[in-house]
Structure 1
Amino acid sequence: MKPLLLIPVLCLPTLLLGESSLPSPTTEAPSRPVIDLSAPGADKLLEPSHASQVQVQPATDGKGIDVSVAAGPAGFPGVRIVPSTGAFDLSGAGFVEARVTNTGSAIISATLRMDSGENSASGSAYLKPGETGAARAYFASPGKGSNPLDAARITQILIFIGKNETTARAFRIDSLSAGGREGDTLPINPNTVRVKPQGGVIFSPSVPVSPGSQLTGRNGAKAEVTGNKTIGVNFSGKPEENVQLRPAKGYWDLGDFLQVTVKVKNTGSHPASLTAQLSSQADRSDTATPTKPIAPGETVDLVVPFIPGTPFKIISVPEQNQLEGKNSWGMESTPGVRYFSHQTNGLILSPVAGQEPSSFEVLAVTAGMPEGDPRPEWLGQRPPVEGEWIKTFEDNFDGTTLDESKWNVYSENHWDKRVGFSKQNVLIGDGQARLRIEKRAGFHNDDPNARATDFATGWLDTYDKWRQTYGYYEVRVKLPTAPSMFPAFWLMPQRGPATWPKYRQASTKDGGMEFDVFEGQSMWGPYRTTFGVHWDDYMKYHKSAGTSAHYNRPDKDGYLTIGMLWLPGHISVYSQGRLQGSWDSPRVGSVPSYLIFDMLPGGFEYDPLDPAKLPADLQIDYVRVWQRKDLMETGKN
C-alpha cells in the first residue's frame, strides 16, 4: 500500500523541468534534469516523508540536496517529489536516475521509485560511507503487480533508504535526471541468465564443455576433455577434493525436471566410488552415491534427485509463540532442502572419503524425470495416516456448472491491481475446474462500479459457506507454465460472530494462521511449490515459517496431488501420499479456516507477464477434506 503523505507540497514551477520545459520527445532522449537541484529553493520541492525524522536542506557547496535521517521507527525515510501540474512529462526517455552520495557513517541502500498512477518502478544503489552511485528505474521494467509506466505521466518520485532505529544516516542527492531511449529495459546481469538445456542434455560428446571456464578441480583433483569428447576425472586421494562442472554462463534452468543422471565409467585399475551433487544459488541438492563401488571398466548411472530423501523439518522454537522477536524461520539442516533447480550453477563430483587415487570418465549428464506412476492405490480415498477419518468436504467438479453452495467467485484483490476476478474465468467441464487468467478488459468482480482492469482471472473460496479446524486437506492439480503465474491453494481463518467484519474474522492473530498448502511460481517450473504458514497479522509482528523448495513428483497424467495434515500443534505436507515435511509448534493455528484457490500473476520470484502466452489455467481435478472423528466440532464441520 502506498503511504498517503499529507504534508503540503511547495512547488516552484521554474525548477520542475520535467513538467513543461524538457526538450521535445525524441527517439533517443539525451540526459536531462528532472529538477535542477542547484537552483535556489530546489530543496523546497523535496517533501520529507517523516517530518520528525527527515530533514532536507541545500548542500553546503550548492551542488545538490542534503538529506539527514535521524534514528527512528520510519520504515522508508526519505523524500517525495510531486509535480505541481500533476505529472512530469519525461516522454522519449528510458529511465530516471538519481545520483546519490552517502554522506553519513553507515552503509545505506538508496532507492529511487517513480509512480505513474498505480504503476511503479524502482532501482537501488548500495553505498558505503563516502561512496557515490546511481539508483535507476526504467519505465519499461515495472515493479511487482505493475504495468510499464507512462513516461509522459510520472505522478511522483520517491528517494528513500531503509529503516534504522539506532543509527542516524545522511545522504546527498547530487542529481535527478531522465535519460536513455524509449523502451529501454533493466539490463540483465549475465551471471543471472537462466539457460534451459535442450532436451535436458547438460553435457554429452555432442554438447561439449569448455575446459578452461566450465571444468575446475579442487584440492588435487583434475578434469579435462578427452579425445572422445568426454570428461576425464582424476582424484589424487587427498581430503575434500572434487571436480566441478559449471554452466557456460549464468545458471542451468532445470525447472522442467526432477533429477539429473550422470553416466560415469570407472577408468581406474581398482573398484572405486564417486558421489554426485548439484549446487544452486541457494544450496546443494541431495547426493547420489552408487550402491557399491564401481568395478574397473564398469559404467553406472548416478541419479541426483531434486526431492530430498529425508523429509524436511521446519524449525520450531519458543519465540514463534511470542509477539516480539524474530519473524521468519526456515528448515533444519537436511541435505537438499534448499536446492533451487531453476538456478543450478554446478555439478560436483567427489570421491568417497579415504579412497585411494581413482579415475573416471563422465560420458553424459542429463536432466530428466523419474519413471513410473508414484500414486499408491489408496491416494484420494483416505488420509495418509492412521485414524478414524470422516470426509467433510468434496468437490470433483463434475458437470458443467460451479456448485455455488460451496464456492464464492468474488473477493477482494490485495495483490495485483491489473487483474480483476470474473465468474467467466472459472470454467467447469471435463471433470475439473479451471481458473483461467487472460488478457481481457473488464471490472474487478464483474462490477461496473469497481476498478477497471486489463486482465481477468478466476477465484474460488468457501468463506461463509464452509470452514473447519484441523483435518487433512488434499488437492489434485496441474500448474500453469506461462511466465509470471502464481497459483495457490491456501486456508485463512474465519471465526467470531457473523457481525464481525471480514478482516477481523480472517485475522491471523490470536490463534489464527494462513496455511499455504501450495504456491507455485512458473519461473520455478511445474513441480516446485512452497509450503508455509503466516501468523500474527501482516504488519509489525508478522511471522512466517516454511519452504520454497517443495518438489512434487507428477503422476502419469502430469497432475500433482498435494495434501496438508493439520492437527493440534502439528502440520505436515504430503505429495502423492508421501510425507515431504512437517512442523511441530504450539503456535500452529487453532481456529476454523476456509479454503481458497487463486490464479494470479506475479508472486515473489517471476519473469515478466507476457500477454502473448495467455490464457493460462490452474487445473483442479478435485479437492477433498477429512476430519478425524475425535476432532469433530459441532457447527464447525
Structure 2
Amino acid sequence: MRHLLLLFSVTFVNICNASVSPDNRQTEIQAPEGYALVWQEEFNGTASLPDTAKWWYETGNHGWGNHEIQNYIAGFAGNDTCALVSDGTLQIIAKKKGDEVLSSRINTKESWTYGYFEARLKLPAGKGTWPAFWMMPRDGKTWPGDGEIDIMEEVGYDPNVVLSTIHCEAYNHRKNTQKSGNKLIPTAQSEFHIYAVEWTEDFIKGYVDGECYFTFENDKTGNKDTWPFNKPFYLKLNLAWGGDWGGAKGIDETALPAIYEIDYVRVYQKK
C-alpha cells in the first residue's frame, strides 16, 4: 500500500453519484460518516507472502463449484509464486505450470457483522480471467442458503465491466435470480480503483470509486431465504481461471501469466 492511513472516523465524500479521477492515485474514497477503521491490510510488509496472522489459503483444483480450471496453491509451489507481496501491493498471479494453471485464493482470519469493506484493485486482462473480492459466512454450511456477498467480480471476456452481487436461497445464479449491479469502468484493467460494499441490517450497497451502483434491501420478513446477512462474514481475494462464468466464451492462455493487484484492504464499522 502506497499511502499511510490513520485510525479515525471520516465523512463519506461521494455517496451515490460522484467518482474520483483514476489518474489521481493520492485521492482516496472515504468511508461513510460514523464509521471507524477496525482492520486493515496495507501490504507494506517486508515478507514476500501475505501475512499468515491475517490470512489463510484455500487450496486445490476441484473446480470450486463452478468448474474452474485453476489449482489454488498456498502462495507458492516450488519456484512458482502466486501470491507475491512486493512494493506495497499484493499480486495474485495465475500462471501456466506444465499442464495446469496455478493461482491463489486467500481469506481473512477475522470476520465481521456489518460494516464498510473496501479494497483498491487493478484487475487482470485476458479471456479466462475471473478476479474477485467477496465475502462468505464464517460458519457457513450450505450454499447459497447461508449467503454470499460479492463486492467486485469481473470476467476477462467482458473487460472492465465490474459487478456487485448477493446470493442467498431465494436469489442466486443457479436459479438466475441473483441480485446484482454492474458498471463499466474503462480503466479497471489498467489502473487502480476502489471497490467497496456497505453492509448494514437494512441494506447492502455496492460502490466503485465512491459511486453507489447496487442496492439490495432487507425485506424485514425475518426469512433467512431472503436475508441470511445477519452474522459474521470474512473477506476473500482470488483469481480464478476459466469455469462456468470466467470461461463461458473460452480462454486465451496467451494472457498468462495474469496479475490481479491489490493495493490495500480495509474494514470500517460504526462507532
TMscore range, shorter length: 0.7 to 0.9
Is 1:454 matched with 2:96? no
Q: CA RMSD in A?
A: 3.0
Q: Alpha-carbon deviations, 1:502-540, whole Å to 9, x = none?
A: x62x6543xx32001111111121x21111110028798
Q: What is aligned with 2:200?
A: 567
- Trace 1:390-539 onto structure 2 (pairs within 5 A): 390-398=36-44, 399=46, 400-411=48-59, 413=62, 414=64, 415-416=66-67, 418-422=69-73, 423-424=75-76, 425-441=82-98, 454-462=100-108, 465-495=109-139, 504=141, 507-509=143-145, 512-525=146-159, 527-536=160-169
The answer (yes or no) to whether the contact 1:478–1:620 under 8 Å persists in 2 is: yes
> What is aligned with 2:231?
591
Q: Which of the pair has more CA radius of gyration? A: 1
SS at match of 2:57: coil
Please point out which of 17, 25, 28 is paired with 1:379.
28
Asked whether the equivalents of residues 553 and 560 of structure 1 are also in contact (C-alpha less than 8 Å), the reply is no
Work out the CA distance in 2 between the residues paired with 1:541 and 1:614. Answer: 32
Q: Percent identity?
A: 22
Three-state SS of the structure 2 residue aligned to 1:523 is: coil
Residue by residue over 1:85-120, the C-alpha shift from the partner in whole angstroms, topping out at 9 and shown as x without a partner, is: xxxxxxxxxxxxxxxxxxxxxxxxxxxxxxxxxxxx
- For the structure 1 residues 532 and 539, does the alpha-carbon distance in structure 2 shift closer, same or farther, using more than 3 Å as the test? closer
In 2, Cα distance between equivalents of 1:440 and 1:402: 22
Q: Distance in 2 between matches of 1:402 and 1:604?
A: 27
Q: What secondary structure sits across from 2:55 in the alignment? A: coil
CA distance in 1, matches of 2:173, 2:165: 18
> What is the CA distance between 1:411 and its match in structure 2?
3.7
The answer to whether the aligner puts 1:546 opposite 2:198 as a matched pair is no
Q: Which residue of 2 aligns with 1:626?
A: 268
- Name the CA distance, whole Å, in 1 between partners of 2:207 and 2:119: 11
Which secondary structure does the structure 1 equivalent of 2:90 belong to? strand
> How far apart are 1:541 and its partner, in Å?
7.6
Alignment CA distance shift 1:576-1:485 (3 Å): same
- C-alpha deviation, 1:542, in angstroms: 8.5
Conserved 8 A contact 2:22-2:191: no
Q: Note closer, same or farther for the CA distance 1:541–1:477 as it changes in structure 2 (3 Å cut).
A: closer
Corresponding position: 1:604 with 2:245: yes
Structure 1 alignment gaps of length 5 or more? 1-309, 312-369, 442-452, 496-502, 630-637
Per-residue deviation, 1:467: 0.4
Whole-angstrom CA distance in 1 between matches of 2:200 and 2:144: 17
Kept in 2: contact 1:493–1:508 (CA 8 A) = no
| Cα deviation digits, residues 405-450 of structure 1 (max 9, x gap) | 1111224541345321122211110111111111114xxxxxxxxx
How big is each residue's C-alpha offset from its partner over 1:270-303, in whole Å with a ceiling of 9 and x where there is no partner? xxxxxxxxxxxxxxxxxxxxxxxxxxxxxxxxxx
Please give the per-residue CA displacement for 1:183-215, whole angstroms capped at 9, x wherever unaligned.
xxxxxxxxxxxxxxxxxxxxxxxxxxxxxxxxx
Q: Matches of residues 151-300 of structure 1 in structure 2 within 5 Å?
A: none
Cα 1:485–1:577 change in 2 (3 A) is: same
In structure 2, relative to structure 1, the CA distance for the partners of 1:539 and 1:626 (3 Å cut) is: closer
Q: Which amino acid aligns with 1:604?
A: W
Decide whether the 8 Å contact of 1:471 with 1:566 is kept in 2.
yes
- Separation in 2 of the partners of 1:539 and 1:481? 24
Local SS of the residue matching 1:564: strand
Q: Could you list the per-position Cα deviations for residues 532-589 of structure 1 after superposition, in whole angstroms to 9, with x for gaps in the alignment?
A: 1100287988852113x3223659x711111101011201112112222322223441
The runs of 4+ residues in structure 1 deviating greater than 6 Å are: 374-378, 537-542
CA distance in 2, matches of 1:376, 1:571: 27
- CA–CA separation in structure 1 for the residues paired with 2:187 and 2:173: 37
| Preserved contact between residue 115 and residue 269 of structure 2 (Cα < 8 Å) | yes
Count matched residues. 233
Which residue identity does 1:544 align to in structure 2?
A: Q
Between the aligned partners of 2:267 and 2:168, the Cα distance in structure 1 is 23
> Per chain length, whose mean CA-contact separation is higher, i.e. which structure has more relative contact order (CA < 8 Å, sep 6+)?
2
Matches within 5 A, 1:43-58: none
C-alpha displacement of 1:396: 1.1
Aligned-partner SS, 2:56: coil
Alpha-carbon contact 2:59-2:104 (below 8 Å) kept: no
Cα distance in 2 for residues equivalent to 1:417 and 1:565: 29
User: Aligned partners of 1:614, 1:539: CA distance in 2, in Å?
Assistant: 28
1-side partners of 2:143 and 2:173: how far apart? 12
Per the alignment, do residues 625 and 375 of structure 1 end up closer, same or farther by CA in structure 2, a change over 3 Å counting? farther
Q: Structure 2 vs 1, CA of residues 371 and 426 (structure 1 numbering), >3 Å: closer, same or farther?
A: closer
Unaligned runs of 5+ in 2: 1-15, 77-81, 220-225
Q: How does the TM-score come out when normalised to structure 1?
A: 0.34
Residue in structure 1 matched with residue 222 of structure 2 by the alignment: none
Shift of residue 372 of structure 1?
A: 4.9
- Deviations for 1:308-336, whole angstroms, at most 9, x for unmatched residues? xx87xxxxxxxxxxxxxxxxxxxxxxxxx
Q: CA deviation at 1:375?
A: 6.2
Partner of 2:6: none
Go from structure 1 to structure 2 and tell me whether the alpha carbon gap of 1:553 and 1:579 turns closer, same or farther (over 3 Å shift). farther
Aligned CA distance change for structure 1 residues 455 and 406 (closer, same or farther; 3 Å): same
**TM-score, with normalisation over the residues of structure 2?**
0.75
- For the Cα contact (< 8 Å) 2:93–2:259, is it kept in 1? yes
Deviations 1:232-266 (A, max 9, x none): xxxxxxxxxxxxxxxxxxxxxxxxxxxxxxxxxxx
